[in-house]
Structure 1
């Protein structure tokens, strides 16, 4: 089976899937990069992977490379599309050739009455031309299926997917002991280490973590909170820490490389994920769960309904509900055994199911089944490549937790 993956550029989220699918029996695989990695990402410490791996074709390098890429797309048994122009998808759908689109949700800005004209126009431009197939969707958000079927009809062609960053294998007992033993210079040994990581921008709501810290401190909790990242809210957050008097328990560490962030996750007891519906997937959830963190995450984040079973392998809170957010965090701080259980279960979720090895094997099996004309929606019960059902934005409420 020849598989060609077309997207903007190779990155550390796509690399594990690419490497694992290369190891599948009977698979020839090529990744087509249609643009160079942006300088902004390079400045943040990201590696330029486009020219590093032999299975990557840099179509933007020359006309010759672009023609080579187009032939790979045309000749593949299966083409996968990430971020790319619709014209590259139409090369195959117009010929009835099997395609998959790896996609986050389409309508992040909402689906209320005011958004209908814009959303409808976008759906008819970017989705309607593919409504009759053969285009299937691997949904890198639990809300993608609902968006796809709001103005167009892709029922029966949506499957659970995601981002699959590197999955590390740990001795879980040793990992949990490491979390209990970590201290930072100038800090007293905390009851719990709490971590927030991401860009410091409005829709990620890092300020919610500082509001949380102020309330926890007032209630007498002993903890250390670390915030990793940079962005437009950085000065505002520094001022919040000062004005709320939490500079003795909250530290801002600035931007870090992905490897440095993972090291902090390995040391953290609790990971906070506070984004709203603008967070398409949120790979920090995979990474923090893989690192054995007990996560507390907003229900609006695209990865949360797929990865987190509330009270089983992490805790979900109602997006924007600060009181509920704090309640869920306090459940973890009040019970060391419960916190450890959430962290261990989170690790198992990623190491056993939601990883590149499982996803690549299932994807090949799914593609082969569709090519044969067999029913594919029931191939897997849960996890990658299982059926992605329609999920409304309001599926979760605080009184249900």
Structure 2
């Protein structure tokens, strides 16, 4: 089987699974990158590994070779591609295509009423509903968006991003998370990591630091990242006299971000619906953090079962977020139990090797004319969850 993945660019969230596929398929696996990576992501260390990847081809340097490979491969997975001209030749030839997509309507499903938008969606997606085209849903609300346009009926599957997974001795890892303040009392370590953008609501972290200080709780908040809200967040920190409780570390390499996670008790993931997936969730769960996350984030309903392996608050409800964080800082046993279960979720199902094995098996089935979904996790049937129902979905009993 010759399998090719085509994406706008490869990053450290995709490399581990791609490398697992290369280990299985050798020269029969290729990852085609269609454009250079954005400068701000390069600054975050995202592009540091690509020159050493034996399976990577750059379309903008070898267009003819890549175009032929996209037509000749048995199966091609297209993800992160806005230019449909890469995909159309294969669709028109009736060959097997797997699309990997984030949401169509992140800013609101009401946008589906646009006649011009619906026409474009029909051209790109709906007209192929009976063709050998399948959808990997990068987030819990993707299936709902595609359901609106009646695309890929019974052919939508759970998927996501699969960053590097580390195996730990959990007892040793929890010892690394043990921090003491100057009085010898437990100091809860809290982490926020990402770009300082409005959609990610980093101000929630500063506000919770202010609240915990007023409550007399011993903690420290590490803010890792940078961006347009940097100055505002630093002003808030000074205004609330939090210089001792909050440290800004700027952008860090992916490796250093993982070190922060390994030493954090609690990870705050505060983005809204505009966060299509959110691979920091995979990474923080793999690092056995107790996660507090907003339900609008694409990865959250797929990865978190509220109260079992993390805590979920309703998007936009700061008071609920505050109460969940307070609950965690006061309960070490709960922090560790959520951290253990989060770790198991990643080790058991949501990891690069498991994803690669499942994708390989799925593709083999397609070549034999069979669609064989998994029972749970990656490549299981994607439930149709509207954004309004995502919070309720995380409360489900499994």
Q: TM-score, with normalisation over the residues of structure 2?
A: 0.93
Once residues 244 and 340 of structure 1 are traced to their aligned partners in structure 2, the CA distance between those partners, rounded to angstroms, is 30
Cα pair 1:3 1:27 within 8 Å, conserved: no
Distance in structure 1 (CA, Å) of the matches to 2:119 and 2:322? 40
1:224 matches 2:220:
yes
Alignment of 1:1-400 (within 5 A): 1-24=1-24, 28-61=28-61, 65-84=62-81, 85-112=83-110, 116=114, 119-181=117-179, 190-376=186-372, 379-397=373-391
Query: Does the 8 A contact of 2:100 with 2:137 survive in 1?
Result: yes
C-alpha displacement of 1:148: 0.8
State the distance in 1 between where 2:146 and 2:37 align. 28
State the distance in 2 between where 1:375 and 1:55 align.
27
Distance 2:51 2:369 in 1: 37
Higher deviation after alignment, 364-373 or 347-356: 364-373
User: Does the 8 Å CA contact 1:99/1:134 hold for their aligned counterparts?
Assistant: yes
Higher mean alpha-carbon deviation, 118-127 vs 347-356, is at: 118-127
Q: Distance in 2 between matches of 1:238 and 1:48?
A: 29
**What secondary structure, in the 3-state scheme, does the structure 2 residue paired with 1:42 have?**
helix
Q: Check conservation: 1:9, 1:50, Cα contact below 8 A.
A: no
Deviation per CA, 1:311-348, whole angstroms, max 9, x where unpaired?
Answer: 11111110110111011112211211111000011111
Shift of 1:291: 0.6
Is contact 1:21-1:27 (8 Å) kept?
A: no
Q: What's the CA shift for 1:275?
A: 0.2
Deviation at 1:112, TM superposition (A): 2.7
SS at match of 1:23: helix
Counterpart-to-counterpart distance in 2, 1:340 and 1:301: 23
Q: Deviations over 1:178-215 (max 9, x none)?
A: 101477xx997653100000000101000011111212
Unaligned 5+ runs, structure 1: none
- Structure 2 unmatched runs, 5+: none
CA shift, 1:243, in A, is 1.6
- Counterparts of 1:121 and 1:214, CA distance in 2: 49
**TM-fit CA distance, 1:391:** 0.4
CA–CA distance in structure 1, aligned partners of residues 109 and 271 of structure 2: 18
CA RMSD after TM alignment: 2.2
| Deviates further, 129-138 or 160-169 | 129-138
TM-score (structure 1 length as normaliser): 0.92
* Aligned equivalents of 2:20, 2:183: Cα separation in 1: 42
Deviation at 1:351, TM superposition (A): 1.3
User: Contact 1:82/1:101 (CA < 8 Å) preserved in 2?
Assistant: yes
Deviations 1:352-382 (A, max 9, x none): 2100100010011112222222242xx3111
Give the distance between the partners of 1:177 and 1:132, measured in 2 at CA: 54
1:49 Cα deviation from its structure 2 partner? 4.0
Q: Secondary structure at the match of 2:86?
A: helix
**Cα displacement (A) at 1:400:** 9.1
